[in-house]
Amino acid sequence: MSQTVTGVQRYAREILNKLDQLVTDEDIILAVNRDAKDIPEYAKIKVRCIGGFTGNLWEQYSLPVYVLKEKALCLNLCNMVPVITPHLAVIHDVSFKVNPRFFSKKFLLWYRLVFAFSIKRMKRIITVSEFSKKEMIKNYGICEDMIKVIPSAWEHFENIEYDESTLRKYELKKQSYYFAMSSLAPNKNFNWIVHAALNNPQSIFAVSGAVNSKVFGKEAEHNTPDNLKFLGYVSDSEAKTLMRDCKAFLFPTFYEGFGLPPLEAMSTGAKIVISDRSCMREVYENAAYYINPDDANVNLDELCSGPQEDREKILKKYSWEYSAKKLLNLLSDI
């Protein structure tokens, strides 16, 4: 609630929204710190601002002290757990373990320490795909029964209005550009987009997003071609419009636990071009166009003219209500 909303924070917010509609006798408290913002007005979930700290100190001290005082079950939704009360958490992926080159040394040290002291003491681990579940079993030797898959979903995108001034603002024409929401984070594979733009000079490549240098280490420098446009930060309405009106949405990632942005793009009717890596085949099956993230020598217009399965099949697989029900059942079992 105090961080920029990316896929992890989106998952937490949407699960809580649905959980609030489903709970009956359960007593659920959302504990937040003083930096929390845009907190929804819940009907049943109680919100408590606790502790004097923020960030890691809040999560590792203020939160567990409050949990112990309340004799509560601690549920963490955003990849991290308090070492004192590592009860239940959503761990979206273990990229920090599998791909250490993608992260800064400080970030790696922190995550490794916390997980070393916590992961075998947790009551249950939740993750978002069978792929991530297998990665945790392989890298931490966790019993399969300890991990529950509760996937992400897309219906929050239905609540976002289109902004019909978007293309004019960014000087783009409908169906003349490929769109990507990216960063210079190594796992997002921005370099592929640069080389794809060089190999497809007939099209514009529009990229939105920003860099989190504290997490992903030193920013790389790139010589960008003329047909690559940096849009900077775009609003949710602008992003939805850019997805709807593009030739295809590009997601050349090296590693994901679920990969939510292509699902959001798919809900607008956009074609999606995604990596044939990690969980992507599991999530998107044959309703996407797949690329090798190590090879940008591809004719995208030709690729996207080929057949694909109905996207409705994929959209019907995922629902925030379904995921919230699975979480509520898990909490009740514990």
Q: Are residues 206 and 83 in the same domain?
A: no
Is the pLDDT confidence value at 184 over 80? no
Q: Are residues 130 and 168 in the same domain?
A: no
Q: Are residues 328 and 260 in the same domain?
A: no
Q: Are residues 113 and 234 in the same domain?
A: no
- Report, as an integer, the average pLDDT of 295-300: 97
Q: Are residues 102 and 217 in the same domain?
A: no
Q: Are residues 121 and 194 in the same domain?
A: no
User: What band does 241 get if pLDDT is binned at 50, 70 and 90?
Assistant: very high
Which pLDDT score is estimated for 54? 96
Which of the two residues, 214 and 278, has the higher pLDDT score?
Answer: 278
Tell me the CATH number at 60. 3.40.50.2000
Q: Are residues 195 and 50 in the same domain?
A: no
Which pLDDT score is estimated for 218? 41
Which pLDDT score is estimated for 36? 96
For every residue of 173-187, DSSP letters joined together read: -TTSEEEEE--S-GG
C-alpha torsion sign, points 35, 38, 39, 41: positive
- Establish if 41 belongs to a structural domain: yes
Contact predicate 128/258, CB 8 Å:
yes
H or E element that contains 125: strand 124-127
User: What band does 223 get if pLDDT is binned at 50, 70 and 90?
Assistant: low
Burial degree of 85 (CB within 10 A; 0-12, 13-18, 19+): buried
The DSSP secondary-structure symbol of 58 reads I
Task: Write the single-letter amino acid at 41.
Answer: E
- Establish if 209 belongs to a structural domain: yes
Is the pLDDT confidence value at 221 over 50? no
- Establish if 284 belongs to a structural domain: yes
Which pLDDT score is estimated for 216? 41
Q: In what order do the strands lie in the sheet with 147-149?
A: 75-76, 88-90, 124-127, 147-149
Is the pLDDT confidence value at 222 over 70? no
- Report, as an integer, the average pLDDT of 108-127: 95
- Report, as an integer, the average pLDDT of 242-256: 97
CA triple 16-259-122, angle to 5 deg: 55
**Among 60-74, 214-228, 293-307, where is mean pLDDT lowest?**
214-228
Q: Are residues 298 and 327 in the same domain?
A: no
User: What band does 134 get if pLDDT is binned at 50, 70 and 90?
Assistant: very high
Is the pLDDT confidence value at 2 over 90? yes
Residue-range definition of the domain harbouring residue 223: 163-317
User: What band does 211 get if pLDDT is binned at 50, 70 and 90?
Assistant: very low
User: What band does 121 get if pLDDT is binned at 50, 70 and 90?
Assistant: very high
Q: Are residues 206 and 100 in the same domain?
A: no
- Report, as an integer, the average pLDDT of 76-87: 97
Quote the pTM value: 0.92
Q: In 90-140, where does DSSP find H-type helix? A: 95-98, 105-118, 130-140
Spatial separation of the C-alpha atoms in residues 118 and 80, rounded to whole Å: 10
For every residue of 242-258, DSSP letters joined together read: HHHHSSEEEE--S--SS
Residue closest to 32 by CA, chosen among 79, 95, 77, 87:
77
Is the pLDDT confidence value at 117 over 80? yes
Both structure tokens of 229: 């446009």
Q: Are residues 61 and 183 in the same domain?
A: no
- Establish if 78 belongs to a structural domain: yes
User: What band does 217 get if pLDDT is binned at 50, 70 and 90?
Assistant: very low
Which pLDDT score is estimated for 262? 97
For a pLDDT cut of 70, what percent of the chain falls above it?
95
User: What band does 4 get if pLDDT is binned at 50, 70 and 90?
Assistant: confident
Is the pLDDT confidence value at 210 over 90? no
Mean pLDDT of the chain: 93
Which pLDDT score is estimated for 187? 85
Q: Are residues 287 and 194 in the same domain?
A: yes
- Establish if 2 belongs to a structural domain: no
Which pLDDT score is estimated for 143? 94
- Establish if 103 belongs to a structural domain: yes
Is the pLDDT confidence value at 25 over 90? no
**Count of domains observed in the chain:** 2
- Establish if 1 belongs to a structural domain: no
Spatial separation of the C-alpha atoms in residues 231 and 2, rounded to whole Å: 25
Dump pLDDT digits (tens) for 287-296. 999 999 999 9
Which pLDDT score is estimated for 220? 39
- Establish if 120 belongs to a structural domain: yes
Q: Are residues 18 and 132 in the same domain?
A: yes
Dump pLDDT digits (tens) for 31-50. 999 999 999 999 999 999 99
For a pLDDT cut of 90, what percent of the chain falls above it?
88
